[in-house]
Amino acid sequence: MVNSIKVQAPGTVANLVCGFDVLGLCLHEPYDIMEVQLLDEPVIKIQSADGYPLPTDPQRNTAGAPLVEMVKELDNSVGFEVIIHKHIKPGSGIGSSAASAAGAVVAANMLLENKFSKEDLVRFAMFGEKVASGVKHADNIAPCIYGGITLIRSIFPLDIVTIPAPDLYVTVVHPQIEVKTADARQILRKEVLLKDAIKQWGNIAGLVAGFMKNDLDLIGRSLEDVIIEPVRSILIPGFDEVKRKSKEAGALGGGISGSGPSIFMLSKEKSTAQAVAQLMNEIYDRIGLDRHTYVTKINHQGVSLAPTLTPKSA
Amino acid sequence: MVNSIKVQAPGTVANLVCGFDVLGLCLHEPYDIMEVQLLDEPVIKIQSADGYPLPTDPQRNTAGAPLVEMVKELDNSVGFEVIIHKHIKPGSGIGSSAASAAGAVVAANMLLENKFSKEDLVRFAMFGEKVASGVKHADNIAPCIYGGITLIRSIFPLDIVTIPAPDLYVTVVHPQIEVKTADARQILRKEVLLKDAIKQWGNIAGLVAGFMKNDLDLIGRSLEDVIIEPVRSILIPGFDEVKRKSKEAGALGGGISGSGPSIFMLSKEKSTAQAVAQLMNEIYDRIGLDRHTYVTKINHQGVSLAPTLTPKSA
């Protein structure tokens, strides 16, 4: 039996435009690398591979807390050691904490020969999100574990729906400023106009239909958020310009990734996605903000074995 | 060239539970019968076949106003005479005015050898809705013309999306009380809680995915309206009991049809749909309200030639 495994835990885009709080998408890049080892005693050990300062108390670590829950359900018969190569910057808005949580439970489950269902894994991983933000939410966890595009119709009870989608390119820019999730949530109004809500649910219905029909024009028309984006985008320098120019360059559309500050854009062609990255870089160069830019695709697999896997046998 | 035609213009369910203002569904029954004749002068004549009092001024008639618009776009080169056998009671909440408007333009377009697109026809027919309710809306018109389940993502510009759906049974009960659309709209709050709106757009996304995946459980779970139904259902005697007992009897779910007072329920099996009709009848018998009940199916065709067609040739 393999007792050690190395996985790639990818970034994710939550709050997919009109799908605030319910729709998420899995990326190929960036991703964390996580090495997870099965132990025969009920301890959870967390270690940072590259000196990145991570809490080592498992209860306070986004990868640790989910494993604590998993081990509880296994009657404390096993434990895990986790070494994290953290590449997704916390606070980027592309699911850094979810990657750690999802990567840990998927890897652990592989070592347990898939004892748990994906839904179980989401349930465990949400304890990691609770550590990170104080709230159990699944809109990064679910796409990270299921891959592709996921709808979290409900958290209690958990209801995850995979949405088949075309093989689109995703350009992500992470301007190096801090937007705290709590702040981004704070500025939202608790009430919204019914007429705006109607527009929003018309758009999410159109977006889901567009993904499932492979109708790129419909996807583009539906990628409109009349409620959250107008408020939150003011926290992100350059947002309007990035969006407008990306669409002019041929992107289908996009918006804020998670609660920001990252911005993502969907494109049909790689060349468009690259042109979008180029103009994002130009905009932030001009503004004078450091940034990371990724040209990647929708990742239909979610957390996966790292290709450089060299398993140690028990 | 055929210059006279007879069509069935079916009832429709708008405001499909979580799809308030954007999702509609076409029924097989009830339906109006409309006889439409092509004239060689630019006049619109409206006639009631069965003594039902209809406005005969075409500008004030829901079938007439759309034809006036169509004839305008044809440079007043033709006209139409319409005889309406009105079977869908106005004010029932199952798209009576939309049936007249849609039936008229579809029949006229057949006589014009499909000169116009379905989208054009929706555009014309909305003038009929304006006559009926003062507002151009397409959530009954679109399913009546396209058939099946339609999403009206946007009215301006018009964006209609057909949603493939399984061949479900629909039970409709029309308790014989009057709920005016204007009143039903009046009692809605202009603002809604963001958390309710999120639930609603999670549900409509689940409903669209459920229809397109043929996932009946998901359809059932998503048939939940946390915004409109709690307010409007108080105008409909027996609503809560009808809904609860229908689901206990095996219906997937349902809700208010349009702005009421009709209630509809979706079922997989005919026997369930019939049991639902039975319990609806029992409830309204006990309440002491007269009612009409229909057991029908989703109509994937929309307005269609009446099977008893005996065309007169020119």
> Does residue A65 fall inside a structural domain?
yes
Which residue from B192, B206, B221 is facing A192, i.e. has the nearest CB?
B192
With a pLDDT cut of 90, the percent of chain A lying above it is 86
Strand partners, A248: none
Asked whether residue A159 falls in the same domain as residue A178, the answer is no
**Cβ B189–A190 below 8 Å, yes or no?**
no
Which residue from A192, A199, A204 is facing B205, i.e. has the nearest CB?
A204
Which chain B residues contact residue A188 at CB under 8 A?
194
Residue in chain A closest to B191 (alpha carbons) equals: A193
> Does residue A311 fall inside a structural domain?
no
Asked whether residue A136 falls in the same domain as residue A264, the answer is no
Asked whether residue B13 falls in the same domain as residue B160, the answer is yes
> Does residue A131 fall inside a structural domain?
yes
Tell me the angle at which helices A239-248 and A270-287 cross, rounded to the nearest 10 degrees.
150
Which chain B residues contact residue A208 at CB under 8 A?
205, 208-209, 212
Out of B141, B164, B187, pick the residue that ends a domain.
B164
Out of B164, B193, B225, pick the residue that ends a domain.
B164
Mean residue pLDDT of chain A comes to: 94
Structural domain of residue A248, as residue ranges?
169-297
Q: Is A245 left (phi over 0), alpha (psi -120 to 50) or beta?
A: alpha
> Does residue B311 fall inside a structural domain?
no
Cα gap A106→B228, rounded to integer Å: 40
Asked whether residue B98 falls in the same domain as residue B232, the answer is no
Mutate to test the interface with A, among B25, B153, B204 (most CBs of A within 10 A): B153
Smallest CA–CA distance, residue B190 to chain A, in Å, is 5
Out of B127, B145, B164, pick the residue that ends a domain.
B164
> Does residue B303 fall inside a structural domain?
no
> Residue B71's pLDDT band (boundaries 50, 70, 90)?
very high
**Cβ A19–B205 below 8 Å, yes or no?**
yes
Asked whether residue B157 falls in the same domain as residue B14, the answer is yes
CB of A194 within 8 Å of a chain B CB? The answer is yes
- Average pLDDT score over residue span B244-248: 98
pLDDT at A1: 61
pLDDT at B1: 61
Asked whether residue B189 falls in the same domain as residue B127, the answer is no
CATH code at position B124: 3.30.230.10
3-class DSSP assignment, residue B299:
coil
Higher pLDDT, B309 or B208: B208
CB of B25 within 8 Å of a chain A CB? The answer is no
> Does residue A51 fall inside a structural domain?
yes
Q: Is the pLDDT of residue A84 over 50?
A: yes
Number of structural domains chain B divides into: 2
Asked whether residue A128 falls in the same domain as residue A212, the answer is no
Q: Which two tokens stand for residue A264?
A: 């993502």
Q: Which of A181, A272, A293, A296 is catalytic?
A: A181
Asked whether residue B215 falls in the same domain as residue B84, the answer is no
pLDDT single digits (tens) A229-287:
999 999 999 999 999 999 999 999 999 999 999 999 999 999 999 999 999 999 999 99
Asked whether residue B87 falls in the same domain as residue B207, the answer is no
pLDDT single digits (tens) B143-154:
999 999 999 999
CATH code at position A222: 3.30.70.890
Asked whether residue A14 falls in the same domain as residue A109, the answer is yes
Largest distance between two CA atoms of chain B: 61
Q: Is the pLDDT of residue B310 over 80?
A: no
Q: Is the pLDDT of residue A312 over 60?
A: no
Q: Where are the alpha helices (DSSP H) in chain A?
A: 64-73, 96-111, 118-133, 141-146, 181-186, 194-213, 216-222, 229-232, 239-248, 270-287
> Does residue B312 fall inside a structural domain?
no
CB of A135 within 8 Å of a chain B CB? The answer is no
Q: Is the pLDDT of residue B187 over 90?
A: no
Asked whether residue B265 falls in the same domain as residue B226, the answer is yes
Cα gap A243→A256, rounded to integer Å: 10
Which chain A residues contact residue B218 at CB under 8 A?
153, 161
The complex's ipTM? 0.94
- Lowest average pLDDT, out of A181-185, A283-287, B96-100, goes to A181-185
> Does residue A259 fall inside a structural domain?
yes
pLDDT at B313: 47
pLDDT single digits (tens) A185-204:
788 999 999 999 999 999 99
Q: What are phi and psi of A219, to 5 degrees?
A: -55, -50
pLDDT single digits (tens) A13-55:
999 999 999 999 999 999 999 999 999 999 999 999 987 788 8
Cα gap B263→B283, rounded to integer Å: 13
Compute how many other C-beta atoms are within 10 angstroms of the C-beta atom of residue B116.
18
- Provide CB contacts within 8 A for B270, sequence distance 6+: B169, B295
Asked whether residue A128 falls in the same domain as residue A176, the answer is no
